[in-house]
Structure 1
Amino acid sequence: MKKISFLLAVIIVACQPKPTEQTVEKELTDEQLMAKADSLAQKFIITDGHVDLPYRLKESGFDIETDSDEILSVEKGDFDFKRAVEGGLNAPFMSIYIPASLQKTGGAKELADTLINMVESIAEKFPDKFAVAKSASEVRTHFEAGIISLPMGMENGAPIGDNIDNVAYFKERGISYITLTHSKCNLICDSSYDSERIHNGLSEFGKSVVEEMNRVGIMVDISHVSDSTFYQVMELSKVPAIASHSSCRHFTPGFERNMSDDMIKLLAEKGGVIQINFGSTFLDAKSREVSTHIRDYVDAYEKDPTDTASYNYVQRYTAENPLFTDVKKVADHIDHVVEIAGIDHVGFGSDYDGVGDSLPIGLKDVSAFPNLIFELLKRGYTDADIEKICSKNVFRVWEEVEKFASQNN
């Protein structure tokens, strides 16, 4: 997971921008719209396609017996129970993140099992607050009972290894989607982040993996894959796919990790959904430029702690060139998807606990979903539109994938 360095964290307060006020004539005042947004956040099921809580906990040495407060209300990272309840987040897909390095060293399947065990242990420790969810229907049941669902998606298909039987194995373990790769090409396909394209898309084994995911009922996630991989998945998959945490390349030209307009349109034509990533560098080209510039200076500073010139430069630079975008930019991406593909093909895929300090103003943690709903209300989205974005679009794909599997087994 890419984290912005400690030095940048030190200067966050100095470089945060003020959201620009936007005057929109509506029947309701902003105060009334915010109250409505809070109400809708509690009324509708909210899904989030990608939350990196399990790997964050693993990296911190989390122990369910001694560190339980971190899950409940300590407010470390971007997610805990208290803030999820406040924000109305009912079904955060727990990312079973597998670093690309394990593709060479081994241990990918073992790590996946460890992280799945962790998610299960959270639900077992707090059955009145959390429950693992393996289907959309289970999420609905948990919602009615006032329990937060913990569906799981595996970020990187590396744990499958070269054994196709592992697809069914991870389905049994509760994995509802698999992101085919991460930052490097693997045995399945090429990555958008990797300059080396080994397979020119899907490998022959990767094609078998996609077919097997269709068969057993696991959603295919095309976030992180190369463009050629995406188009091959669209041709091969018999059910809709998702992009669990991607944004629109329209706003970040040249950033292949995001989706082009043509890709978004085709994903929609095939019935799929793009879930918008909240990271500022996914949302705004200027944020990407500033982040890259800062990283160069931060690296230089950290190599020589006595060099205060770099530190001072970064402070001055970020004062003039804010790193963070704001919640309005996330709404811009949603607007763009709706404009080119329709209201039925967009959702939330925050990447909370995965994009470090680059989250936009107004969406700094899981308590902030009402701020985004407020912005959508200001732009004229109806209650029905917002419910689709919150969960109904993703549920539709999830259930189509499940239905196809049930009819073909």
Structure 2
Amino acid sequence: MKKTMTLSRITALFIGLTAVPGVQAAEVSDKATALAQQTIIVDGHIDVPYRINDNWVDVTTATKDGDFDYPRAKEGGLTAPFMSVYVPASLDNSPASTQLANQLIDSVEAITARAPDKFAIARSVADVKEQFEQGLISLPMGMENGSPIQGDMDNLTHFYERGIRYITLTHSQSNHISDSSYDLRRQWKGLSPFGKKLITQMNNIGMLIDISHVSDDAFYQAVELSKAPVIASHSSLRAFTPDFERNMNDDMLKALAKNDGIIMINFGSGFVSKAAREWRAGLSQARNKYIKEHGDDEATLDAFDAQYRKENPYPYSSLSDVLDHIDHVADLIGVEHIGIGSDFDGVGDSLPVGLKDVSDYPNLIQGLLERGYSEKEIKGILSDNFLRVWSQVEDYAAEH
């Protein structure tokens, strides 16, 4: 199902409005600002809970660090950021993973309790829409790494009841549910026997299935087994980052479209730029060589890293790079399969120029306007596409 260029996009090409790679969008227009403020903006993945668990700050007010707080979210028009309940792979197969997940959910509940005039937990599409009308920022939650399920369907029910609405099946290592794209050990050759049962039960309970982080085999098995659309909550495209399995290739995108699912584009430079990935590989090689020759003393390693970065500046990606990923999906499978999954507060100091924090969504909207996307298409990317998928998952569960 290849997308045909809209008339507005063709016109943009002829009159020179399409952004040139490496060139930032023009000053944000009143139209882009209005779209940001008047449209629900869903971001599929923001790592606030783990950020404030590590170093607590009150995100209901302005904060000096990080990518998210209330004033910046309001400035950017963000209205439904999925709070990522991230559990590191180092806690897999231990009660500590379930404990941490509950603690991080507690932290999201604490945010809404401290500022009920600013935030509210969202458990459904209806909640998001109602809270938007009330002027509140919705905080739906997704679990990044299914480790806390511990092979027990009762835990799935428990976390659903606590407000979790998607589960990223695995993270950086293979777990009891699925193989990971980052883990060379493919113990399950896709999903585990429990993982396959979990897919069915997630469908039945109304839990979105998130295939970001999983291996290719696990992805294909998940979309084959799922009776409802799946999501990639924070992934980008392998067409621009060859050999980076964490991103999705074109065949996977086509399978995602057949499933009626959605890919939510990750903003991190390493996800959208080949140059950034090559820089990271170069640092790792140089660091390993230094350790071999000089040892791994922490202080000297820190000095080495600082000197390397000084001599080899990090090649930040651009807003244009992110837009290229959106264009590719739109042209390959249709704009209706695109969303936003920034990974704010999750990718450190690697965010693109022009998309540095949650105040910058108007820059993205401006870029989309300049590339000829219609208002309807932009609203789809900002939220309508994801809310459609979420509604389909809710509807399937209601029937089963």
TM-score, normalised to structure 1's length?
0.88
1:229 aligns with 2:218: yes
Q: Deviation string for 1:310-340 (max 9, x for gaps)?
A: 644532222xxx4201111111000000011
1:388 corresponds to which residue?
A: 380
Q: Equivalent of 1:360, from 341, 352, 356?
A: 352
Q: Deviation string for 1:319-371 (max 9, x for gaps)?
A: xxx42011111110000000111010001000000000010000010000111
Q: How large is the Cα RMSD of the aligned pairs?
A: 2.1
Do 2:238 and 2:247's aligned partners in 1 also have CA atoms closer than 8 Å? Answer: yes
1:294 aligns with 2:283: yes
1:326 aligns with 2:315: no
1:402 aligns with 2:391: no
The aligned runs of 1:61-72 (5 Å cut-off) are 62=56, 67-68=57-58, 70-72=59-61
Q: Deviation string for 1:210-250 (max 9, x for gaps)?
A: 10000000000000000000000111000000000000100
CA distance change for structure 1 residues 23 and 130 in 2, over 3 Å: closer, same or farther? farther
Do 1:291 and 1:323's aligned partners in 2 also have CA atoms closer than 8 Å? Answer: no
Q: Equivalent of 2:16, from 25, 43, 52?
A: 25
**In 1, Cα distance between the equivalents of 2:124 and 2:192?**
29
Local SS of the residue matching 1:123: helix
**In 1, Cα distance between the equivalents of 2:361 and 2:27?**
16
**In 1, Cα distance between the equivalents of 2:48 and 2:347?**
12
The aligned runs of 1:180-195 (5 Å cut-off) are 180-195=169-184
Q: Deviation string for 1:32-61 (max 9, x for gaps)?
A: 86221111100110000000000000011x
Q: Post-superposition shift, 1:168?
A: 1.5
1:282 corresponds to which residue?
A: 271
- Gaps in structure 2 of 5+ consecutive residues: 1-12, 19-24
Q: Post-superposition shift, 1:170?
A: 1.1
- Gaps in structure 1 of 5+ consecutive residues: 1-21
Do 1:33 and 1:377's aligned partners in 2 also have CA atoms closer than 8 Å? Answer: no
2:339 corresponds to which residue?
A: 347
Local SS of the residue matching 1:48: strand
1:269 aligns with 2:253: no
**In 1, Cα distance between the equivalents of 2:158 and 2:206?**
12
Q: What is the letter of the counterpart of residue 98 of structure 1?
A: V
CA distance change for structure 1 residues 332 and 163 in 2, over 3 Å: closer, same or farther? same
**In 2, Cα distance between the equivalents of 1:200 and 1:57?**
35
Q: Post-superposition shift, 1:296?
A: 4.5
1:243 aligns with 2:237: no
2:191 corresponds to which residue?
A: 202
Do 2:62 and 2:70's aligned partners in 1 also have CA atoms closer than 8 Å? Answer: yes
1:257 corresponds to which residue?
A: 246
**In 1, Cα distance between the equivalents of 2:370 and 2:172?**
37
**In 2, Cα distance between the equivalents of 1:309 and 1:217?**
49
Answer with 161-170 or 366-375: which moved more. 161-170
1:48 corresponds to which residue?
A: 43
1:74 corresponds to which residue?
A: 63
TM-score, normalised to structure 2's length?
0.90
Local SS of the residue matching 2:359: helix
Q: Post-superposition shift, 1:269?
A: 1.2
The aligned runs of 1:112-131 (5 Å cut-off) are 112-131=101-120
Q: Deviation string for 1:43-84 (max 9, x for gaps)?
A: 110000000000000011x2xxxx43x431123200000000
Do 2:95 and 2:148's aligned partners in 1 also have CA atoms closer than 8 Å? Answer: no
Do 1:221 and 1:243's aligned partners in 2 also have CA atoms closer than 8 Å? Answer: yes
1:39 aligns with 2:34: yes
**In 1, Cα distance between the equivalents of 2:98 and 2:209?**
18
Q: Between Structure 1 and Structure 2, how many residues are aligned?
A: 376
